[in-house]
Amino acid sequence: MTVLLPRPVTRRSVLRGALGGATVGLSLPFLDLFLNENGTALAATGAPLPVRFGTWYWGLGHTPGHAIVPKTRTAAGIEFLTECQALKPHHDQLNFFGGFNMPLDGRSNYTHFSGWVASRTGTAPSTNSEIPAPTLDLLVADHLSNNNRFKTLDATACGIARENYSARSTNSRAAAEASPEKLYARVFGMEFADPNKADFKPDTRMMVRRSVLSAVNDDRKKLMQKVGASDRARLDEYFTSIRQLENQLETQLRKPEANQSCAIPAAPRRDGAEQNMPQGLEVDTVIANHRVMAQMMAMAVACNQTRVFNMVFSDNFSHMRRPGQTYTHHLLTHEETPDKDLGYQPVAFWFNCRTMEAFATFIDAFANIREGDGTLLDNTLIFAATETNYARVHSVDGVPVFSVGKAGGRIKTGMHVVGNGDPITRIGLTMMQIMGVPVDNWGTRSLQTSKTISEILV
């Protein structure tokens, strides 16, 4: 049976072991302990640099044979083909995971849905809307300390707030910030405390708000007695959210540590004018919004507003479109005639190329922020994935996944990891372990795994 380890493992616990010839992750030490050995420290305080976790999502997979050169065994070196050329400069900050499968055990492949749900929750959904378990970003967020303003920060460049691939369950899925303006207002708006400002005075209004929320929390016991068991769980989640909000206020009542990496970005404006940026699914609009949101998200992370983030470039049905064209990206993947000479659907491929360019932009946003002796990307781990291998046929085996960043020196990069048909959950399990989540196996049914991808561990 799969279990969460009952308590954190101490420093220098066993990192790896061999069982039946396979590499198995038994347990991992907490990240902060690890950082004392391998990370660098904040110049101002001597405290270890935090390691952050995030996800980046794109819809509709890759064009097989034109994205990454397949390999037969795990090895250093990723060979980028045309679709992924934009990633070439980031080779040393990436890992590519190919050949991992997604066994659904007879459950339907709910198109463009099963793929992301299974790879992020470890369980294949049994309906077209079920999210059967928390997504891995929330498991990481639950584990990391609550010393940041936001437990997670979610944004989507496609303008649709519900397109957030982070959820605790089917009925517990937060809306993502769906425009640069909204993301900016939430993070860098009135309630942002500039860590580099000399004077800091706790805001009386926040103290009052904390008291108000505390009073709301006082009713917990009385209310719990009023409802049945299933509703108690829902109320419990509500009160957890209240505590999270209280914690958020707590952090804002403390003077933030001086932070040289943190620089408040300019408010997003269309062409510098006093107008909001355009919204919509026209591809250039999505790309422009994503670029701005990527920079904002990176700065939110650098300013220690959150340690966990989720960024969506395009939705799982990728409704992106080009002006004047009747076909969206999604429709193209099914109905565009492949070019005989090229061997692929040229316009769908064009969208895929733009998507990988956007991915490179996102990586740049983190790589361009200096932190300690390196960059923010050195202290970040990003799980970048999609929901299908080849959208044209909705295949979920071989879904491409990247990891980005060095996670504070805990992960090797520049590797092409070959799954050989192993469950895709091995990637999520390894990511969580790198982030210090005390989990020794993850997933259900054929997606259950205890096999850490040890080849990428430092």
Partner 1 sequence: MSTMRRAWRLTFTACALALLAACSETPKTTGAEAGMRLLTEPQYRQIIADVFGQQITIGGTFDPLVRTSGLLTVGASAARITPAGLEQLDRMARSIAAQVTSEENRDFLLPCAPADMRAPDDTCAAQFFGTTGRLLLRRSLAEDEVASLVRLANVATRELGSFHDGLASALAGLLVSPEFLFVIEQAEPDPKRDGALRLDGYSKASRLSFFLWGSAPDDELLRAAEAGELHKSSGLAKQVDRLLESPRLEEGLRLFFDDMLAFETIGRLEKDAIIFPAFSTAVALEAREQTLRTLMHMLLDEEADYRDVFTTRKTFISSALGRIYRIPVSRPDGGWMEYEFPEGDPRLGIATHVSFTALHSHAGRSSPTLRGKAIREILLCQRVPDPPGTIDFAAFNDPNSPAHTARDRLNVHSIEPACAGCHKLTDPVGLGMEHIDGAGQLRTNEDGYAIDASGSLDGFEFQDVAGIGPALRENVAAPACLVNRLYAYATARVPARNERKYLKYLEGEFADDGYRVPALLRRIALDEAMYAVKAPSTRTARVTDPVTGDPS
Binder of partner 1 out of 225, 226, 271, 273 (CB under 8 A): 226
DSSP E strand stretches across 224-355: 308-312
Please enumerate in sequence order all residues whose Cβ is within 8 A of that of 264, keeping only pairs 6 or more positions apart, or say none.
188, 192, 194, 299, 303
Grouping H, G, I as helix, E, B as strand and the rest as coil, residue 434 is: helix
Binding flag, residue 62, partner 1 (CB under 8 A): no
Q: How far is the CB of 334 from partner 1 (least distance, A)?
A: 5
Binder of partner 1 out of 69, 216, 258, 458 (CB under 8 A): 216
| Range 242-254 burial, b when 16+ CB lie within 10 A, else e | eeebbbbbebbbe
Helices (H), 312-345: 329-335
Are 414 and 87 spatial neighbours (Cβ–Cβ below 8 Å)? no
Residue nearer to partner 1 on the CB measure, 194 or 237: 237
Under rule CB under 8 A, how many of the chain's residues touch partner 1?
A: 99
Binding flag, residue 225, partner 1 (CB under 8 A): no
Please enumerate in sequence order all residues whose Cβ is within 8 A of that of 195, keeping only pairs 6 or more positions apart, or say none.
256, 257, 258, 259, 262, 303, 304
361 to 380: interface string for partner 1, x by CB under 8 A: --------------------
Q: In which residue are the tokens 């929320």 written?
A: 213
Supply φ then ψ for residue 449, to 5 degrees: -150, 150
Residue nearer to partner 1 on the CB measure, 151 or 410: 151
Binding flag, residue 269, partner 1 (CB under 8 A): no
* Alpha-carbon torsion angle 444, 447, 448, 454, nearest 10: -150
Q: How far is the CB of 185 from partner 1 (least distance, A)?
A: 10
Grouping H, G, I as helix, E, B as strand and the rest as coil, residue 38 is: helix
Residue nearer to partner 1 on the CB measure, 251 or 260: 251
Binder of partner 1 out of 47, 75, 81, 175 (CB under 8 A): 175
Residue nearer to partner 1 on the CB measure, 108 or 147: 108
Residue nearer to partner 1 on the CB measure, 104 or 381: 104
Q: How far is the CB of 324 from partner 1 (least distance, A)?
A: 4
| Range 167-184 burial, b when 16+ CB lie within 10 A, else e | bbbeeebbebbbbbbbbb
DSSP state for residue 411 in the 8-state scheme: B
Q: Quick one: the chain helix, strand, coil %, rounded to 5?
A: 35, 15, 50
> Distance between CA 273 and CA 128 in Å, rounded?
43
Grouping H, G, I as helix, E, B as strand and the rest as coil, residue 285 is: helix
Footprint on residues 379-408 left by partner 1 (CB under 8 A): 392-396
Binder of partner 1 out of 12, 73, 162, 270 (CB under 8 A): 162
Footprint on residues 115-144 left by partner 1 (CB under 8 A): 121-123, 128-129, 132-134, 139, 142
Residue nearer to partner 1 on the CB measure, 75 or 233: 233
Binding flag, residue 147, partner 1 (CB under 8 A): no
Binding flag, residue 101, partner 1 (CB under 8 A): no
Q: Which residues pair with 94 in a beta bridge?
A: 404
Residue nearer to partner 1 on the CB measure, 45 or 108: 108
Which one of 9-17, 228-236, 357-365, 400-408 is the stretch in contact with partner 1 (CB under 8 A)?
228-236
> Distance between CA 85 and CA 44 in Å, rounded?
39
Binder of partner 1 out of 38, 45, 108, 145 (CB under 8 A): 108
Binder of partner 1 out of 293, 439, 453, 456 (CB under 8 A): 439
Footprint on residues 287-346 left by partner 1 (CB under 8 A): 319, 321, 323-328, 331, 334-338, 340, 345
Number of H helices, E strands in the chain: 11, 12
